[in-house]
Amino acid sequence: MTVQLARGQAIVLEAEHIVVSVRHSAAVDLSALLLTTDGMVRADADLVFYNQPLGQGVRLLPGEEGRPSALAIDLRAIPADIEHVRVVVALDDQQDSMGNYAAPDLSIDDAAGHRLCDYMVTDLGPESTVVAMDLDRSGPDWLLRPLGHGYHSGFAALVTAHGVAVGRTPNPPVRQPAPLPEPHDASLLGATTEMALRKPGGAELSHVKMALGWDPVRAPGRFGLREVDIDLDASALVFSGRQLMDAAFYGQLSSRDGSVRHQGDNLTGSSNGDNEMIDVDLTLLSPEASTVVFVVTSYAGHTFERVRNAFWRLVDGKTNVELTGGNLRVGGRHTGMVVAKVQREADIWKFHTVGAPIQAGHPVEAAEQVAPYL
């Protein structure tokens, strides 16, 4: 029985070899990006598309009788340092809009042609390009995660954002040092900028939670306003001095020692109240751990200009009493934010708000830009 997938769902792929195809009333192209843990390609050859149909573990199959091409993916052959395979659907005419047509309908079959699942990408508007789904490595398994995020800047801008040098002979991308973040105003994040983590009466807190919430964006569509899914992600990065030790985020829900735990991914911001929550048990943190940095990133590259009603809260993990928090009223062309940190100072944990904008869609990308705030 074919499974009809919905955005935000994730399933374990039982088949090791799959074929991804798309049905659409306009001329479209399928492509795939092979991405490392930092959400970037290793080299231009990690983009599989009509001009470069063969990659490691992924090849583009020609379409028959005017049908779009399909992607054949051998999960056993994906290189060990590749953590994500991102499937992209783009209109041939990049000046056109997905919203002018019926929703793209993707099918995933096994090697024998048996249908495993379908995913219809709905609620698209002026975008010409859409990040349809991700295949995420999860231990020995691969997860299929339907996304359906429209990318307004188009196909060339999307692959460039993932490290592909568009218009040049494939070469390894040159990673430039991350620019220093723009000046920021921590007061935008909340009134408190530094506090010792103590309960009323002086006892030290042993367990804190950082919560993140936001609302979907409503944008003009063909039939009035429609919701645009903005996928923000809360992450906690654990440092020893300036060295990243561990992390908890949507792709790794617990730190290795279990001291930091992510409660689960929210892809749309559609639920009421807190959308994501991270628990930190300070008593379980390694003695080498000096700082836990809380970061918010935009998975599909939506800038914070488009985010609505985003907020964060720091909560006593034992009583659920809110200690501090604020609104992320810092809309700009950045895709991430270093929100706050918990830092060990003379055996006392202190909390500091930071409020620094960064350019990051993945917590590992953010880790490279956290150094000025450690």
Average pLDDT over residues 327-352: 80
Q: Which residues contact 346 (CB under 8 A, 6 or more apart)?
A: none
Residue 67 has pLDDT above 70, yes or no: no
Query: CA separation (Å) from 246 to 11, 141, 186, 285, 364?
Result: 26, 21, 25, 10, 10
Most confident by average pLDDT, 116-125, 222-231, 300-309 = 116-125
Residue 358 has pLDDT above 70, yes or no: yes
Residue 41 has pLDDT above 70, yes or no: yes
Average pLDDT over residues 13-22: 93
Tell me the backbone φ, ψ of residue 217, rounded to 5 degrees. Answer: -90, 140
Residue 179 has pLDDT above 60, yes or no: no
Residue 216: its pLDDT value, please?
Answer: 62
**For residue 97, how many C-alpha atoms fall within 13 Å in the half-sphere facing its CB?**
10
Residue 178: its pLDDT value, please?
Answer: 38
Helix and strand totals (H; E) in the chain: 2, 26
> Maximum Cα–Cα distance for the chain, whole Å?
76
What is the C-alpha to C-alpha distance for residues 366 and 374, in angstroms, rounded to an integer? Answer: 13
What is the pLDDT confidence band of residue 182, given thresholds at 50, 70 and 90?
A: very low
Residue 367: its pLDDT value, please?
Answer: 82
Residue 342 has pLDDT above 50, yes or no: yes
Number of residues that this document lists for the chain: 374
Please say whether the beta carbons of 212 and 231 come within 8 A. no
Overall fold of domain 186-373: Lipoxygenase-1 (2.60.60)
Please say whether the beta carbons of 264 and 335 come within 8 A. no
Residue 293: its pLDDT value, please?
Answer: 94
pLDDT tens digits, 250-307: 878 899 889 999 988 665 545 556 788 999 999 999 999 999 999 988 877 777 777 7
pLDDT tens digits, 231-260: 788 999 999 998 888 999 887 889 988 999
What is the C-alpha to C-alpha distance for residues 33 and 59, in angstroms, rounded to an integer? Answer: 11
Mean pLDDT of the chain: 80
What is the pLDDT confidence band of residue 353, given thresholds at 50, 70 and 90?
A: confident
Please say whether the beta carbons of 107 and 21 come within 8 A. yes
| Strands of the 243-248 sheet, one edge to the other | 194-196, 348-358, 336-345, 291-298, 232-240, 243-248
Tell me whether the CATH fold assigned to 3-161 matches the one assigned to 186-373: yes
Please say whether the beta carbons of 316 and 207 come within 8 A. yes
Residue 360 has pLDDT above 70, yes or no: yes
What is the pLDDT confidence band of residue 219, given thresholds at 50, 70 and 90?
A: very low
Show me where the domains of the chain are located. Answer: 3-161, 186-373
What is the C-alpha to C-alpha distance for residues 16 and 46, in angstroms, rounded to an integer? Answer: 20
Domain 3-161: CATH architecture, name and number where available: Sandwich (2.60)
Query: For the whole model, what pTM was predicted?
Result: 0.50
Residue 37 has pLDDT above 90, yes or no: no
